[in-house]
Amino acid sequence: HLDLGTYVLAGQEIDHIIRRHTKYSKSKLPGYDVPDQLPLLYWIPKMHKIPYSKQRFIAASGFCTTKPISSFLTKCLRLIENHLRFVCQNYKKNYGINPMWILKNSLSVHKIIASFNHKKNCTNIKTYDFSTLYTSIPHTLLKAKISWVITKAFTTSKKMFISVYKNSAAWTNYPKKNTPHVNSKELKNLVRWLIDNIYVILGDKCFQQRIGIPMGTDCAPFLANLFLFAFEFQWIDKHRKAKKYNLLNKFMGCGRYIDDLLMINNDRAMVTHMSKIYPKELKLIPDESDDISVSFLDLKLVIKDCTIFSYIYDKRDCFSFKIVNFPVLSGNIPRSSAYGVFIGELVRYARACTYSEDFKERTSLLVTKFKKQCYTLKRI
């Protein structure tokens, strides 16, 4: 069943949409190849959920008409996010609170934990998640907030353009003629065009997405992250100007990985203020824990004696079926790369486990699995 509030039947022929997308993309990004097809919509089951009827819908956007602009936007928005991270570091130095909650990975979580463990004052920990983020964002609100983010980034960077290269982007006042580049207005227009031109193919029908952004397009995570960042920054800045420091102190230990939110020593203040921070269309759901033990990303976090201890968490451990993961050496794959995966897992375990016993237990399970997949114990 396709939600017809989110998707509506396209009012144009598929060939006409493809020609229109191609014309626009080539006019904005001359020299870029534009694939001549629209994304296919498919779903994957969430097998660990009960009941098993839950699905995740994904638009296969690796080869479609919006790919060039979405890829271009990804480089620009990544640059903007990193710049705003720097801006927020200065904000924290000046005012004592960090309005940048976006996490890059679990290493960022360890940094937040370390700041609390240093003082040994951890009393509670809670996680929240947005029940439906990607498919719930109103387009009008998304355009407005991303526009605000772009304006803030360009203003604080004191640069007029972003130049985009093969694998990166950079701020500049003097872009080279043959290097693709955009100013603030042009970047906002590209974002608006992409949001207004989200089409997917399902069976023999073509649908336009009227609410939210599709999982699968390159820049979707950056759009979602920066959309939420705008609300978080504006809420914090508003209360900072109002000198409500007692409230802001409860939001000192915040970290968010797209739609998953971690709060340390928040005393459940988020429950009271979530509707004031985020728009009504987004539903933020707290976990059902006792505020002492939670799972977040690949970590199990537990408070003991006012200190947070961490362990490896893998939800696949609780699945009622076997998981096929890691390279199997019975196939024709490079050996060195496969053994490199083993080393990478050891590094991850070492970072995540507070206690050496937990590291040893995880490593033992890993070795057992790799031996079954044709790895030699000697080389391991």
Q: Is 129 helix (H, G, I), strand (E, B) or coil?
A: strand
167 pLDDT more than 60 = yes
301 pLDDT more than 90 = yes
170 pLDDT more than 80 = yes
**Summary mean pLDDT of the chain:** 93
Closest CA to 365 of 319, 328, 312, 298: 312
1 pLDDT more than 80 = no
Lowest mean pLDDT among 68-82, 160-174, 198-212: 198-212
The secondary structure of 252-287 as a DSSP string is SEEEEETTEEEEES-TTHHHHHHHHHS-TTS-EEE-
What secondary structure letter does DSSP report for 37? S
| Tens-place pLDDT, residues 88-141 | 999 999 999 999 999 998 889 999 999 999 999 999 999 999 988 888 899 999
Contact of 181 with 175, CB cutoff 8 Å: yes
> Which pLDDT belongs to residue 3?
57
> Which pLDDT belongs to residue 22?
97
> Which pLDDT belongs to residue 135?
82
37 pLDDT more than 90 = yes
Closest CA to 216 of 106, 62, 18: 62
Contact of 300 with 312, CB cutoff 8 Å: yes
pTM above 0.85, yes or no: yes
| Tens-place pLDDT, residues 173-216 | 999 999 999 999 999 999 999 999 999 999 889 999 999 888 88
Segment 18-45 shows an average pLDDT of 93
Segment 227-231 shows an average pLDDT of 98
The CA-atom distances, in angstroms, between 144 and each of 214, 220, 276 are 18, 16, 18
Give percent of the chain with pLDDT exceeding 70: 97
